[in-house]
Amino acid sequence: MALFYPDGDQVTRLLLILRKAYEGVHSNQIGFPGGKVEASDRNLEETALRETHEEVGVLPSAVEVIKELSDVYIPPSNFMVRPYMGIYHRPKPFVIQEDEVERLVEVYLHDFLDDSNHIEEVLSTSYAKKIHVPAYKLNGYTVWGATAMMMSEMKELLQKAL
């Protein structure tokens, strides 16, 4: 769930999370709240809302889902992801799920839309060495991979709307 919300000064922000370090391909990476489908989920939107509640404490009823984005396949984990954009109109303090989320990364919308923050990085991972990837440099973090792909689609949609 790509969650947009007003901060205390009524400035729009986008919520990202830094995942905990663990034995896995997405260890210590920046992403959106989200996760695997559970049997109780009626559809993928419900999965995104449930995972957002679990990971950052936002009640599903408090999120206005405004757009379903394109599916993104993530080869290292063999997952197909369906991202959603949502608005959290009256945010209450976030509550992180401490066993999965290291910290919140609250990005100003204007920083996200600023072309100078869209970069190319050379990265090495557990499955690839010295690869050139499009990325975003936001709040001191490099956001790349599937998350950057989702963000590029969102950025294009937002720029068309503005």
Which residues are 106's β-sheet partners?
A: 15
What CATH code would you report for 2-161? Answer: 3.90.79.10
pTM listed for this prediction: 0.90
Give the mean pLDDT of 52-80. 93
Residue-wise pLDDT for 4-32, tens only, equals 999 999 999 999 999 986 565 445 689 99
CA dist 115 → 50, 105, 112, 118, 138 (Å) = 32, 19, 8, 5, 11
